Amino acid sequence: MARSAGNRYVVFGAGGVATAAACDLGLWGEAAEIMLADAELGRAKEAAARATRMLKAKKLKVAPLAVDLEKKADLAKALKGAQGVLSTLPPAFNLGLAQAAVQAKAHYADTGAPLAVARAIQKLAPAARKAGVSLLSDCGLSPGLSSSLAMLGMTTLDFSREVKVYAGAIPQRPIGPLDYATIYPVADLLELYLRPATILRRGRVEELEALTEREDLDFAGVGTLEACLTGGSSSSCPQSFQGRLVVFEEKTVRYPGHFEKVAAMRDMGFMNEEPVTINGSRVAPRELFLTLAARAWSQVEEKDLVVLRVLVRGKKHGRPTEAGYDLVDRFDPETGFSAVERTTAFPAAAALALQARGKVKPGAEPVELCLPHRDFIAEVKRRGLRIAEAIRASAV
Write the pLDDT tens digit of every residue in 70-119.
999 999 999 999 999 999 999 999 999 999 999 999 999 999 988 999 99
Largest CA distance in the chain: 70
- What integer pLDDT is reported at residue 209 of this predicted model? 96
Rounded Cα distance between 22 and 28, Å, is 10
Which long-range contacts (C-beta less than 8 Å, at least 24 apart) are formed by 217-220? 217/166, 217/253, 217/309, 219/307, 219/309, 219/326, 219/328, 220/326, 220/328, 220/388
Taking each continuous run of H as one helix and of E as one strand, the counts in the chain are 14, 18
Backbone angles phi, psi at 302, to 5 degrees: -65, 135
Q: Specify which residues 248 forms β-bridges with.
A: 163, 200
pLDDT tens-digit map of 203-247: 999 999 999 999 999 999 999 999 999 998 888 999 999 999 999
Topology (CATH) of 7-140+340-382: Rossmann fold (3.40.50)
pLDDT score, position 3: 42
Write down the pLDDT at residue 213: 97
Low-confidence ranges of the chain (pLDDT < 50): 1-4
Concatenating the DSSP letter of every residue in 66-123 gives: E--TT-HHHHHHHHTT-SEEEE-S-GGGHHHHHHHHHHTT-EEEES---HHHHHHHHT
By the 8 A CB rule, do 172 and 207 touch?
Answer: no
Which residues share a beta bridge with 331? none
pLDDT of residue 110: 97
Tell me the C-alpha distance between 367 and 354, whole Å. Answer: 12
Domain ranges, ordered by start, for the chain:
7-140+340-382, 145-339+386-393
CATH number, span 145-339+386-393? 3.30.360.10
Q: Tell me what pLDDT residue 257 has.
A: 96
270-298 burial code (b ≥16 CB/10 A, e <16): ebeeeeeeeeeeeeebbeebbeebeebbe
DSSP β-ladder status, 304-316 and 204-208: unpaired
Measured CA distances, 302 to 185, 206, 299, 336 (Å): 17, 37, 9, 13
Residue 243: per-residue pLDDT: 96
